[in-house]
């Protein structure tokens, strides 16, 4: 896959949806981490 076709493929996605999906993943993972000093 060329750089250009990868960029074109990404441009076809709604980045707001990608952002929201990653925010969900972030929150779920964060809830499974136990923090220590």
**Footprint on this chain of other proteins (rule: CB under 8 A):** 1-4, 6-7, 9-11, 13-15, 17-37
Measured from the CB of residue 9, what is the shortest distance to other proteins in angstroms?
A: 4
Q: How far is the CB of 14 from other proteins (least distance, A)?
A: 6
- CA angle 19/25/26 to nearest 5° reads 85
Q: Which two tokens stand for residue 27?
A: 């929150």
Task: Round to whole Å and give the CA distance between 24 and 17.
Answer: 11
How near is the Cβ of 2 to other proteins at its closest, in Å?
A: 8
């Amino acid at each position: 896959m060329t750089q250009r076709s990868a960029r074109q493929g990404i441009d076809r996605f709604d980045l707001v949806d990608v952002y929201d999906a990653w925010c969900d993943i972030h929150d779920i993972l964060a809830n499974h981490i136990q923090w220590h000093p």
